[in-house]
Amino acid sequence: MTLATLAPNVYDAEPIPEAARAEIERLLTSGDLFRYTSEGSPVQRLESEFAALMGSRYALAVSSCSAALFLSLKALDLPRGARVLIPAFTFAAVPSAVVHADCVPVLCEVGENYRIDLDDFAAKIDDDIACVIISHMRGHTSDMNAIMAACDARGIPVVEDAAHSLGTLWHGRKIGTIGKIGCFSFQSYKLVNAGEGGILITDDPELAARATIMSGAYEHNWKKHAGLQNSFVNWQNRLPLYNMRLQNLSAAVIRPQLPLVAERVEKGRANHDYVAARLNTSDWLAVPPALPPEDRAPDSIQFNLVGLESDDEARAFQSAAKARGVSVQVFGLSQDNARAFWNWQFLGDAPDLPRTRAMLMRACDVRLPTRLTRAELDFIAEALLAAAEDVKGRTPVYGT
């Protein structure tokens, strides 16, 4: 057997619980796939279950997290050309949602711990910024106390891109409930897998009503959204319909996964922390610690190559890990990576962000699905440790 056949499969998404089958069968038989046909449809139930899970007043299920971000900006009624501050380390869908909403993204530096650089944030947050989107990229939580204080002082609304942060806590508060609106993804490589899908949460009835209508609650379909009757009359026929609804089959796949979130979070965190402790024994690999108020919910691990001065050395590490059966993505080294800001050419000429760039050139990404066993985690950790030694030599043992 070759190493590659022994290597754990980290690419498959989370399997769908058996409980989804009966509901999908029922939907296939009745053909009742549109969320607004029946009262108490699966999508409607998903919304109330998700709102309860998060402790928020309103939830709106939509076709993707990108749609949720777009609708958030539209619900905030930002004028055309409004400047929206976003981290420079995020997925291309985030600046794309800003452009889609006729706004202009302003990129903020991100440090080698994958979190927003607060000095650059303070320098860029001025009265010309109409909205801030905090992307908790790969679930890494930036300092939300500092960010909220700066934004609240200027009355700037914060939208949380919590696509990868379901189950993460900050000072015990759920990520996604700290800003005005929180957006989540059900795309396959997130904690809850529906292939595609997203949801936004808010406590603000006007924002919820506006987002709901624009998501495609045409005519009087808004009556199927509880608790918003007083707000909808303000917006009927006054907002465009973008039709970004979720359909019942997706909700049927998502709902039985919600009770599993807590268990997946716990398992993911244990897996991550186990591999992180092993990688941190190397002089050449560094897993940045979470900020103290954060309880993480990871399903992947990010670490930096330390002392690998050239891109060639970083590539040699990738090849050595690959030869040992583990694929590592270095965000800045793979061609056309959608998380490298210089590839967002649709933004036109943008200023360089040297700090974020330097981080991306040495930051590695490895998926750690929650189902991995201890032996599989050891396989991954040992391959990465050995790959670093292949390139840099043995980690010296001090004191000898």
Ligand X SMILES: *Cc1c(COP(=O)(O)O)cnc(C)c1O
Parallel/antiparallel/unpaired status of strands 104-108 and 83-87: parallel
Rounded to 5°, the CA angle 191-193-195 comes to: 140
Paired tokens of 183: 């957006």
Contacts of residue 273, defined as CB under 8 A and 6 or more positions apart, other chains included, come to none
What is the rounded CA–CA span in Å between residue 231 and residue 253? 31
Least spacing, CB of residue 250 vs ligand X, in Å: 11
* Nearest residue (CB) to ligand X, 138 versus 392: 138
Which amino acid belongs to residue 208?
A: A
Of the residues 85, 137, 254, 308, which one makes contact with ligand X according to CB under 6 A: 137
Q: Is 65 in the site for ligand X (CB under 6 A)?
A: yes
384: left (phi over 0), alpha (psi -120 to 50) or beta: alpha
Q: Is 8 in the site for ligand X (CB under 6 A)?
A: no
- What is the rounded CA–CA span in Å between residue 198 and residue 118? 29
- Structure-token pair, residue 112: 């080698």
Q: Measured from the CB atom, is 93 or 107 closer to ligand X?
A: 93
The least distance separating ligand X from the CB of residue 285, rounded to whole angstroms, comes to 23
Tell me the closest approach of the beta carbon of residue 14 to ligand X, in angstroms.
14
| Minimum gap (Å) between residue 97 Cβ and ligand X | 8
Ramachandran angles phi, psi of 302, nearest 5°: -120, 140
Residue 31 is which amino acid? G
Beta bridge partners of 104: 83
* 299 scored as a contact of ligand X (CB under 6 A): no
- Helix runs in 126-216, H state only: 144-154, 205-216
Radius of gyration for the chain, computed over Cα atoms and rounded to the nearest angstrom = 22
Minimum distance from CB of 312 to ligand X (Å)? 29
Closest contact distance (angstroms) between CB of 169 and ligand X is: 17
Which one among 56, 64, 248, 304 touches ligand X, defined by CB under 6 A? 64
- Among 56, 66, 72, 318, which residue interacts with ligand X (rule: CB under 6 A)? 66
Residues 78-97 that bind ligand X (CB under 6 A): 90-91, 93-94
The only residue of 60, 103, 163, 228 in contact with ligand X, by rule CB under 6 A: 163
In 33-174, DSSP assigns E strands to 58-62, 83-87, 104-108, 129-135, 158-161, 169-170, 173-174
Question: Could you tell me the two tokens for 97?
Answer: 């949602």
- Does 202 participate in binding ligand X (rule CB under 6 A)? no
Q: What is the DSSP letter of 184?
A: E
Helix pair angle (93-100, 65-75), 10° resolution: 40
How many residues interact with ligand X (rule CB under 6 A)?
Answer: 15
* 176 SS3 class: coil
Q: Does 135 bind ligand X (CB under 6 A)?
A: yes
Q: 140, 164, 225, 264: which one contacts ligand X (CB under 6 A)? A: 164
Q: Which stretch binds ligand X (CB under 6 A): 44-52, 61-69, 283-291, 303-311?
A: 61-69
- Single out the residue of 56, 113, 141, 187 in contact with ligand X (rule: CB under 6 A): 187
Q: How far is the CB of 207 from ligand X (least distance, A)?
A: 19
Residue 161 found at the interface with ligand X (CB under 6 A): yes
Smallest distance from the beta carbon of 2 to ligand X, in angstroms? Answer: 32
Is residue 248 part of the contact set for ligand X (CB under 6 A)?
no
Kindly state the smallest distance separating residue 70's Cβ from ligand X, in Å: 9
Tell me whether residue 216 or residue 388 sits nearer to ligand X (CB atom).
216
C-alpha distances (whole Å) from 126 to each of 76, 267, 303, 335, 372 are: 18, 41, 32, 34, 45
> Per CB under 6 A, does 108 bind ligand X?
no
Amino acid at 335: Q
Taking CB under 6 A as the binding criterion, the range among 159-167, 174-182, 279-287, 308-316 that sits at the site for ligand X is 159-167
| Token pair belonging to 360 | 């991306």
Minimum Å gap between C-beta 91 and ligand X is 4
- Write out the residues near ligand X by the rule CB under 6 A: 64-66, 90-91, 93-94, 135, 137, 161, 163-164, 185, 187, 198
